[in-house]
Amino acid sequence: MMSVTRYGQLSAVTYRKDWTKKQRIDVARRLRSPRKKKLALLLPAHNEELIIETTLRSAINAGQAKEDIFVVDDGSSDLTRSEAIKMLGKRQVLSVEHSGKAGAVHKAIKHFNIEDRYSWIHIADSDSVFGPDYFKIYRKGLVGNQYVAAVGFVQSLRGNWICRYRAFSYTFGQHVIRRVQSWLGMISVMPGPITSYRTDIIKHLDFFTGSLTEDFDITLQIHRQKLGKIKYIPDAVNFTQDPQTIGDFWKQTLRWYRGFFQGVAKYKIGSKTQRIDVSIMYQLMETLLYILQVWILLPILLVATNNWKFVWAVFVGDMIVLGIIGVYSAAMALRPSILISLPLFYILRNIELIAYVKTFFEVIVFKRFPDKGQVGWATTGRRYALSEKALQDTTAA
């Protein structure tokens, strides 16, 4: 039976003389329909048996109710589905044929009727481990009709020197660069583990991007279509599992940069005057100038002058800058171990620069990785059993 209050609301709709019949019908339908819940969590997964139980436990401990968590198993060949069902039950777990992350997400949104049941959907990677009160903080940040998407703060799980490098990069990049991008309205990428979308924009997004980095592609879709603003919620911290070998680091970096240049080419970055073009063109020019300076101009000057003092001066100056950023990152992340590994970061930074140049020529010059038919999963061989040390910052500890 309809409540007196709700009946009164419907009566008021009928007697608004300045409304058209269609307006009255639309408002009446909204009043009759059940109210949407705030936030759903969707975890697409492919061969995640080593970590998905930890991910689900951390989500619940971080403030997300079980009934609002959904898993889509994209054709896993391991025990991913079984582990998810143990935590959530069969109703919250969907298994689909292997079609890639984007296809799995699209099928799950439709299957679980997310758009009609929730105002927001958080799509996180299944190797995520959520920080304390992550979802409580996140839900408080989802205010204001001008925002159509939101991002939290991604941090590397504790591990070896490669994980420390990722923590170093993530900390400075988000505490400084992403804050500036947020203030200027030009957030350039919404990383997979920490992103939410308002469900009423889902119909405008193409999850079948064909990109190696679908999160970057979807970010560019939001900017190009001018769907609305992206909210930055830095206090909502989510931890992700990063590579622990040079080989895995190289593979992940190649995939990231290939996907980045796919997006640059597909959306013709630099050809328009949108803020996102300014943001990404700045990043491109900054990296290219650094490569030009270190790999080309410096060797030319050395050969021309035979003056090693100049090279050492440049190197010392670069080390000072790296040290300042390292101290800042170590303090903000509460990880003094970052400082111990600083000299080794030069190895990884040069690996990234090599990957950057390689993928630029592959995608932009030779067009060897066209933006079609790609499947964005890259978990094989890159999942590790988690120790208590790795989890000490999370709700799964």
Question: Distance (Å, rounded) from C-alpha 308 to C-alpha 304?
Answer: 11
Question: Distance (Å, rounded) from C-alpha 192 to C-alpha 170?
Answer: 14
Whether residue 350 is contained in a domain is answered as yes
Judged by DSSP in three states, 341 sits in: coil
Alpha-carbon dihedral sign for residues 90, 50, 129, 211: negative
Whether residue 203 is contained in a domain is answered as yes
H helix runs in 72-204, sequence order: 80-88, 101-111, 114-117, 134-141, 161-172, 179-184
User: CB–CB of 123/219 below 8 Å?
Assistant: no
pLDDT tens per residue, range 243-289: 999 999 999 999 999 999 999 999 999 999 999 999 999 999 999 99
Domain containing residue 331: CATH number: 3.90.550.10
pLDDT for position 15: 43
Question: Distance (Å, rounded) from C-alpha 69 to C-alpha 52?
Answer: 12
Share above pLDDT 70 across residues of the chain, in percent, rounded to a whole number: 87
User: CB–CB of 43/130 below 8 Å?
Assistant: no
User: CB–CB of 333/229 below 8 Å?
Assistant: no
Judged by DSSP in three states, 235 sits in: strand
CA distances from residue 288 to 216, 271, 299, 360 in whole angstroms, order as listed: 20, 18, 16, 11
Judged by DSSP in three states, 37 sits in: strand
pLDDT tens per residue, range 164-213: 999 999 999 999 999 999 999 999 999 989 999 999 999 999 988 888 89
Whether residue 193 is contained in a domain is answered as yes
Whether residue 61 is contained in a domain is answered as yes
Whether residue 172 is contained in a domain is answered as yes
Tokens 């939290």 appear where?
A: 152
Confidence of residue 377 (pLDDT cuts 50, 70, 90): low
User: CB–CB of 39/138 below 8 Å?
Assistant: yes
Q: How many domains, in total, are found in the chain? A: 1
Q: Domain of 390?
A: 28-397
pLDDT tens per residue, range 130-153: 999 999 999 999 988 889 999 999
Name the token pair of 391. 């989890």
Tokens 């000299």 appear where?
A: 343
Whether residue 3 is contained in a domain is answered as no
pLDDT for position 21: 63
Whether residue 19 is contained in a domain is answered as no
Share above pLDDT 90 across residues of the chain, in percent, rounded to a whole number: 71
Contacts 24+ apart (CB under 8 A), 316-320: none
pTM comes to 0.86
Question: Distance (Å, rounded) from C-alpha 107 to C-alpha 391?
Answer: 31
Whether residue 23 is contained in a domain is answered as no
CA distances from residue 20 to 12, 23, 25, 28, 299 in whole angstroms, order as listed: 14, 5, 9, 12, 74
